Amino acid sequence: MSEADVRTVGVVGLGTMGAGIAQVCVQAGIATVGREVSEELCELARERIAHYLGRGVEKGRLTAEERDAALGRLTTTTELADLAACDLVVEAIVEDLGAKRELFRALESVVREGAVLATNTSALSVTEIAGATKRPERVVGMHFFNPAPVLPLVEVVRTELASDAAVETAFALAERLGKEPIRCNDTPGFVVNRILIPLLNDCVRVLDEAGVSPEDLDKAMTRGVNWPIGPCALIDLIGIDVHVHASEALHAALGEARMAPPQRLVRMRDEGHLGRKSGQGFFSYGG
């Protein structure tokens, strides 16, 4: 299969990441089938996508006709069977290896023989996910970054068993979506998280060791190193729970102390201070 053969994309899981991926697909002119576990979640995702497309119209990036056409390319469903006609399916469900393996086993029995199956995992092993299928050669990683409609990077992840055709189909599709993909092997954390997670963990440890405030730590990194966003604000944006989970996964895979989440972040997660999405993290976010 080539990118030109990808006429319909499936997205399983329409939370923040999945809805963003579905949005970039319909904006790129691709018929997209989004699957969620309930009609209510399907409707919430459609409303989210419509909202952000509407903002695009308000800001002059889209016409009203383009917005309506994009929404017209989106179909939502609660049935995996409705993904049967998809040429490539992106999984964007909870970051749990068991759940992903179970889903990929089910997807394999639904989609046609030549379809590519991609996981959007940020920290789990693509190889282990692919191992749940009878044809692991068609399984790849397509790691989009949050927010998917804004950030241009997609890590296209190859396992040892992945076929060249599957990798190149995913890569070409990412380019068609207006992204700037890179190819990499299936190693813990891939490229960005392998570098970023221990770096952010070091930043959090400095808070206590250097007796610096989150505001001043962020000022140090934005004014001193020219980061576009400070580390505390970035972790709040990612979500403290998401960052802790990714840190735990990397630590389990590599055993390096820097990968382990700092206790300060673990406490924040346990207290429900998850960053922007909860209204409180290192900083407070009004309603």
Catalytic residue among 91, 108, 120, 122: 122
Catalytic residue among 193, 247, 251, 273: 193
Distance (Å, whole) CA 276 – CA 238: 8
pLDDT one-digit tens code per residue, 235-270: 999 999 999 999 999 999 999 999 999 999 999 999
Residues 52-67 have a mean pLDDT of 95
Name the nearest CA neighbour of 237 among 159, 162, 151: 151
Distance (Å, whole) CA 60 – CA 144: 25
Name the nearest CA neighbour of 158 among 133, 175, 140: 140
User: In the prediction, which pLDDT does 280 show?
Assistant: 97
Distance (Å, whole) CA 13 – CA 45: 9
Q: Is the pLDDT of residue 4 over 60?
A: no
Q: pLDDT exceeding 90 applies to what percent of the chain?
A: 96
Cβ neighbors of 123 (< 8 A, separation 6 or more) are 95, 188, 189, 193, 245, 246, 249, 250
Pick the CATH number of 3-185 from 3.40.630.30, 3.40.50.200, 1.10.3720.10, 3.40.50.720: 3.40.50.720
User: In the prediction, which pLDDT does 223 show?
Assistant: 98
Q: Is 143 a catalytic residue?
A: yes
Distance (Å, whole) CA 16 – CA 138: 26
Catalytic residue among 91, 108, 125, 143: 143
Q: Is 226 a catalytic residue?
A: no
User: Reduced to 3 states, what is the DSSP secondary structure of residue 16?
Assistant: helix
- Give the pairing of strands 139-144 and 153-158: antiparallel
> pTM for the full model?
0.93
> Which part of the chain is CATH 1.10.1040.10?
193-276
pLDDT one-digit tens code per residue, 13-43: 999 999 999 999 999 999 999 999 999 999 9
Q: Is 193 a catalytic residue?
A: yes
Say which CATH superfamily domain 193-276 falls into. Answer: N-(1-d-carboxylethyl)-l-norvaline Dehydrogenase; domain 2 (1.10.1040.10)
Amino acid symbol at 22: A
Q: Is the pLDDT of residue 127 over 60?
A: yes
Angle between helical axes of 240-254 and 263-270 (0-180°, round to 10): 130
Catalytic residue among 120, 155, 163, 273: 155
> Which part of the chain is CATH 3.40.50.720?
3-185
Angle between helical axes of 214-224 and 231-238 (0-180°, round to 10): 110
pLDDT one-digit tens code per residue, 269-286: 999 999 999 999 999 998
